[in-house]
Amino acid sequence: DTEVTQTPKHLVMGMTNKKSLKCEQHMGHRAMYWYKQKAKKPPELMFVYSYEKLSINESVPSRFSPECPNSSLLNLHLHALQPEDSALYLCASSQHTRLAGSYNEQFFGPGTRLTVL
């Protein structure tokens, strides 16, 4: 199994809603990531989890709350979002986060397309 799965594929929510995005991998990877991608822009890193611990928060607003319940699962909890938060949210995983050498390549899931009304 070399796949990263994400649910839901599409999500429409109001600014007062609370929703969650889910990401799962069964490759035994110990690093998982959340990225945000706006149209015609590259992905931008939001959070990094390494061995289920949050290692990087790229100054993301608190209305985005990540959670890593176990080594295979990654959630992103959403609350009181703004219309400008509408984007494609990508989850990725890698074997580890080492700077050099093999097995640090990141594999992306299909993404959740989020629309905030």
Partner 1 sequence: QKEVEQNSGPLSVPEGAIASLNCTYSDRGSQSFFWYRQYSGKSPELIMFIYSNGDKEDGRFTAQLNKASQYVSLLIRDSQPSDSATYLCAVIWGSSNTGKLIFGQGTTLQVKP
Q: Which residues bind partner 1 (CB under 8 A)?
A: 31, 33, 41-45, 48, 50, 55-56, 88, 90, 94, 96-102, 104-111
Helix, strand, coil shares of the chain as percentages rounded to 5?
A: 5, 55, 45
CB of 68 to partner 1, least distance (A): 14
* Nearer CB in complex with partner 1: 33/64: 33
CB of 8 to partner 1, least distance (A): 15
Could you give the C-alpha distances from 54 to 33, 40, 67, 77, in angstroms and in order?
10, 28, 8, 14
